[in-house]
Amino acid sequence: MNDSKFGESVGDYVLEVLGENHRQPVIDIFNYFIRTSYAAFPGRELGYELFDRFLEMSHGYPRVAVKGIAGEVVGFAFLRPYHFTDSFQRTAEITYFILPEHTRQGLGTVILDRFTRQGREIGIDTILAPVSSRNLGSLRFHQKNGFRECGRFLKVGRKWGEDFDVVWLQKHL
């Protein structure tokens, strides 16, 4: 695989470094998950300025946009600091969203492997993933890929009138 700035091919997909040119499709994807699932925590859609926050949070960390065969953005992912203090600099939090018609293609695993490798290069030895208890597919994916549940905040979220837990999953690299 190729880590160049021009992208890394993954079957019919290309991973590119996440940048300004991905603003609209990334926020559209995030809003899709807000509207349709518990994968994104917010209860209402957010504006394109959220993308600035994504770039700010992930500055200096691995981040990618996933493009399909026609060049359309079908997903995105990034690592970010778990906490702002230096005591936690070896720990990162992961975020990824891939449109449902593009899942089960190995993209999540490829991204996780890439972020694991790149994370090690910048001193990361632990990745955390906060997942809604109602997002069973994500929970299964993380457990299949070596994450273990390390904590659970009970009934801290409410979306569509339903409570959900936030499950914290941890992977030591």
Q: Which domains can be identified in the chain, with CATH numbers?
A: 8-129 (3.40.630.30)
Close Cβ partners of 82 (under 8 Å, ≥ 6 residues apart): 88, 91, 92, 93, 126, 128
Q: Give the list of residues 6+ apart from residue 45 with CB closer than 8 angstroms, or none.
A: 31, 34, 35
Which among 107, 153, 109 is positioned nearest to 132, based on CA atoms? 153
pLDDT at 8: 80
Predicted pLDDT of residue 6: 53
Q: What is the mean pLDDT of residues 116-123?
A: 97
pLDDT per residue as tens digits for the range 74-100: 999 999 999 999 999 999 999 999 999
Pull the structure tokens for residue 115.
């972020």
Two tokens, residue 167: 């499950």
Q: How confident is the model at residue 64 (pLDDT cuts 50, 70, 90)?
A: very high
Q: What percent of the chain stands above pLDDT 90? A: 92
pLDDT of residue 127: 98
Amino acid at 87: S
pLDDT(129) > 90: yes
| C-alpha 67, offset from chain centre | 15
